Chain A
Amino acid sequence: MAVVSQVITPEVLTTRRPTGALLRSSLRLRRTQIGLGLVLFILAIAIIGPHVAPHSGSDFVGTPNSTSVPGALFGTDHIGQDVWSRFLHGGLTILVLAAASTALGLVLGIVVGLIAAYSRNVVDDILMRLMDVILAFPQIMLALVAIATVGPNPLTIILAVGLTTTPRVARVTRGASQPVVERDFVAAAEAIGVPRFRILLSEIFPNVLSPLLVEASLRLTYAIGLIAALAFLGFTTNPGAADWGLMIQENYIALTVQPWGVVLPVAAIALLTVGTGLVGDGIARAAAGIDRSRGAG
C-alpha cells in the first residue's frame, strides 16, 4: 500500500457534513469561483435583462442590419429590431428549458441508476438495455425526431432533452453505485432488515452524491448547448420571440455587415456553458482531493 497516502492522515480533514464540505472546498478553488461568477453574470442578464431593455423584443427601431442606429446600442438585426433589446430578452427561455430538462433527466436517471445497481439481476439488465436504446441516438437527433413529429413546443423540448439525459445520468449513477452496493455496510443494513428504499436513500445515495453533482453540472452544460442549438437550427418554442439561439440563426447571413446580432448571443452562451463547466470541474477536483485525503479507506 502507498505509504504516502497513509502518511497524509485522515484526521487532517475534519469533515462534518461530507456534502457541504465538498461544496465548500470546491468553492475555495479559483476555477469554481470564476465559473460561478460567469453563471451568475449570465443569469443576471437573462433575469434582469427583460426589465431594463430599452425596447421590447419585437419593436422595429431602424433599417435592418445597421450598426449605427441612434438609440440602438448594438445596431439593428435582420428585420430592423434592436439587437441589444432582443439580446436582453432572449436568455430566459433557454435557461428555464435547460434547467427543467436537466432536472427531469437527473431525477429519472438517478432513480433508474440506483435501482439498476442495487437490483444486480434481470431488472438491471432490462433497465440498462433500455437505456442503451436511447443512448444509440445522439441527444440532438432524438430531440429533432421528437420535434419532427410533435412540433417544437416547450413540453416536447423538455421531454426530449430530459429523456435523452436520463440514460447518461443513469449510467453514471449505476457506475458509481455498483462498488457502493458491494460494500459491507449495505450488507450490514440488509442483515438487520432495513427496507430496500431506505437502503437506496440513506446508504447508497449519499455515497454517490459527489459524482452526481459533477454529472449534474455537466448535464446542465449540455442541456444549455443542446437547447440553444435547437433554436439555432430554427426550432424555438415561440417563433419570432427573442431567443439567443434563434438570434444567431437569423443574423448569421448578415454576419459580415452586422456581427453584433451573432456575437452577443454566441458570447453569452459560451460564457454560460464554460461557467457551468468550470463549476462542475471544480466540484470534481474538490471531490478527488477529499477522496485522496481520506486515504487508504
Chain B
Amino acid sequence: MTTARPAIVVDRLQIGIQGSGLDIVNDLSFSIAPGEVLGLVGESGSGKTTVGLALLGHARRGAEIKGGSVRIGDIDVLELDMAERQRLRGRVISYVPQDPASALNPALRIGTQLREILDTHNYGKNGEERRARVAEMMREVALPDTGRFLHNYPHELSGGQQQRIGLAIAFACRPRVIVLDEPTTGLDVTTQAHVLDTVRDLATAHGVAALYVSHDLAVVGTLASRVAVMYAGRIIELGPAGEMFQASSHPYTQRLIVAIPHLTGGRELVGIAGHAPSPGRRPPGCAFEPRCTFAIPQCREAVPDLRPIAEVHDVRCIRAEEVRLQAPTRSGEIPRDGSVKTLQPVLSLQGVHAGYRRKTVLHEINLDIAPHECLALVGESGSGKTTLARSIAGLHGDRWGIINFNGTPLAKVARTRPREIRRSIQYVFQNPYGSLNPRRTIRQIVSQPLEVFGTVKGDQIDRRVAQMLERVSLTAAYANRFPDQLSGGERQRVAIARALICEPSVLICDEVTSALDVSVQAAIVELLHSLQRDLGLSMLFVTHNLPLVRSIAQRVAVMSNGRIVELGGVAEVLENPKAEYTSRLLSDTPSLELALETAAVS
C-alpha cells in the first residue's frame, strides 16, 4: 500500500441502461495508487467491462453513465466534454481491449496504428522522436522493432503478438492510468504468463495505476495487490489480494474460491447453484441472497453497505464477521489412482494420425481408455486435442491408424458406424450456445437420439426425457423451453442429458466448461464426476485447463503439437512432470497457490 495520492479515484459511479431506469453498475467506488494494480473480478454480466470503459468516459451503445465521478488528478473525466475526453484518452488514461484480434483495425498496418496515437496526442517534439518512441515501445513489449515487422497487418501476427501491440499502444503516451479488460482471455497459458509479466513490469516501472478487469481470480491474484469482487453491478468485497484468498468475508467470494480448481491436491469442486440476476431482476436486498447459504431474512430488506471489516478490507455483507470466521469449505481430497489399467480397454488408439487437407495435425497417437476411467486430455489451443476427440466420435473423417472400441475397429465417419456404436460413444461439445438447435425445444433436442435409435417409443419418450433432465439437475419443466431461454450452464446440462439418454459407455467431453463462468464450471464438473462414478462411464475429458484435471480425472495425457508428450496418473504428472513441456505448462498456469505466494511476497 502506498500513501501517495491515488492516481485515479472513482466515486459512487452509476451506469444504467439508456432510457430504462435500470442500473448495470451501482454505487461503485475505489481508488488506485500510482504503480498499483487493482484487480476487478466478476463473472459474466457483473458489469465489470462497463466499469472499465466508464473510466475513460465511454459507454457502449445502450448504456449510459448516470452519476458519480472519475477523478484523475484534479480532473473529473465525466465532467469533460467530448473534445476534452478525446485529448485525455490514450494520453492520460488508456485502454487494453479484451480481444486484440478484433480491436486492431484489420486494414491498417500495426506501425500505423501505433504511430497514430503518438501523432494524435503530439507526443514528443517531432516525428523523429515519435519514431524512436515506437521502436522503444516495441522493445518494451518484447516485439521486434524492425520496420519490416511494423509493416505487418494485424492478422499476420499471433494472438500473443497482437495483444502485445495492444499493450504497446496503451503504454505509448506514458499514461497515468491504464484499464486492462481481460487482456489474456483467449491466449494460451504460456502467452498469458508472458503478457502478464509485461503488464506488471510496465506498470511498476512507469508508476502507472492499472485496473485489471478479469473473470479469473487466479490470474488477478498473481498480478494485483488489491482485488475488488463485483456481483450484480456492485463491488461486494475489496481488499488486499492475500486477505481476499485467506480471509474472504463475503459468501460469494468464498464460493468463488472454492469453485476454482487447485493445481495441488485434487479437490472436489463446488459450484454455486443458480445464476447472477440481470438488471431489472435484481432483488431489493442483497443480490446474492437467493444463492447464499448464509442468507437470513434481513438480507432481503435492503442492499447491505460496503463496510470495513479489517484494515483496507471492505465487504458488503451483514454477516461478514461470521462469514469471515468460516474458512472456505474445504471439500475432501478425491482418491485418485493411476492404476486402473488391468482391464481390457474400452477405447484403444493405435498409431492414429489426422489432418486437414494436406496438413497433418495428429502424429502417431497411442492411447487406451479403461472401463470406468476418466482420462483427461490436456493441451493448448492448436495442440490437436479436439481433432483427436472428434476423430474418436467419427466427426473428423480425415484420419488414419486404428481406433478400437471393445476390440472392434471404428469406421472413420459416424454415419458409417453401426447404430450400436453410435449409441455407445457420445460427445458433449465445447460451446453449449452452438450445440443446441435454437429452433427446437429441449424435449425435441434431448429425445432426438431416441427417434434415431428407435429404442423407446410413444409416451415413454417424455418420461425418459424427464428422467434425464432430472439426472442433470434440471426439472422436467425445462422440456418445453427453447435453448435461448436457458443460461449457459443449463444449456450444457441439456447437452449432457442428450448424451446420457443414449446410455453410452464412453462419454467424450470437449472443453465442456470453457465457455462457462467458474462457478458454473465447478457445478458442471461436479455433475460429470458424479455421473461418471455412478454410471460407470468411461470418459475422455478434453481441456486446456490443467488444474481442472485434478478434480475429475484419474489419468492425464498431455498433448503438444499433435503428439502426446506425457501420459500418466494425474498426481504423478502434475507433481513430478517428466516432460519439459508439462513442467513449463504447470509453471505458467496461474493458480490460487501461486496467487497466495505472490500476495505473501508483496
Contact = CB atoms under 8 A, between A and B. Distances in A.
A137 interface: no
A18 B485 contact: no
Contacts of B484: 10, 13, 15, 294-295, 297
A181 B37 CA distance: 44
B132 to A, nearest CB: 37
Contact count band on A: 35 or more
B435 A194 contact: no
B437 A193 contact: no
Interface centre among B393, B439, B449 (most CB of A within 10 A): B439
Interface string B411-437: 000110101001100110111011111
A154 interface: no
B498 A184 contact: no
B502 interface: yes
A1 interface: yes
Contacts of A7: 17, 22, 24, 45, 62-63, 278-279
Contacts of B482: 15, 18
A193 B419 contact: yes
For A11, A192, A294, which residue has the most chain B Cβ atoms within 10 angstroms?
A192
A4 B485 contact: no
Interface in B444-497: 445, 448-449, 452-453, 482, 484-485, 495
Interface in B270-304: 278-281
B422 A4 contact: no
Interface in B185-206: none
B437 A192 contact: no
Given A3-B49, A192-B414, A192-B502, A185 B434 contact: yes
A67 to B, nearest CB: 55
B45 A185 contact: no
Contacts of B395: 187, 190-191
A6 interface: yes
A10 B50 CA distance: 19
Contacts of B63: 3-4, 7
A5 B17 CA distance: 10
Given A4-B60, A14-B485, A203 B17 contact: no
Contact of A188 (B17, B61, B498): B498
Contacts of B449: 192
B404 to A, nearest CB: 18
Contacts of B281: 9, 11
A184 B436 CA distance: 7
A3 B50 contact: yes
Interface in A59-97: none
B261 interface: no
A188 B61 CA distance: 36
Nearest to A293: B484
A241 B567 CA distance: 84
Nearest to A190: B414
Nearest to A183: B434
B438 A207 contact: yes
A240 interface: no
A187 B499 CA distance: 13
B532 interface: no
B62 A193 contact: no
A188 B60 contact: no
Contacts of A9: 278, 280-281
Interface in A254-297: 294-297
A10 B414 contact: no
B384 interface: no
B440 interface: yes
A295 B60 CA distance: 15
Given A15-B484, A184-B430, A194 B45 contact: no
B98 interface: yes
A194 B439 contact: no
Contacts of A11: 278, 281, 485
A206 B439 contact: yes
Nearest to B394: A191
Given A6-B278, A206-B439, A188 B427 contact: yes
A-B residue pairs, 10 tightest by C-beta:
A184-B435, A206-B439, A4-B62, A184-B429, A185-B437, A9-B278, A184-B434, A3-B50, A183-B434, A193-B422
Given A9-B278, A15-B485, A188-B498, 5 more contacts: A19-B439, A183-B435, A190-B415, A191-B395, A192-B448
26 contacts: A3-B63, A4-B50, A5-B62, A6-B44, A7-B22, A7-B24, A7-B62, A8-B17, A8-B62, A9-B278, A9-B280, A10-B484, A18-B439, A18-B482, A184-B435, A185-B445, A190-B414, A190-B415, A191-B393, A191-B394, A192-B414, A192-B423, A193-B415, A193-B452, A194-B452, A207-B437
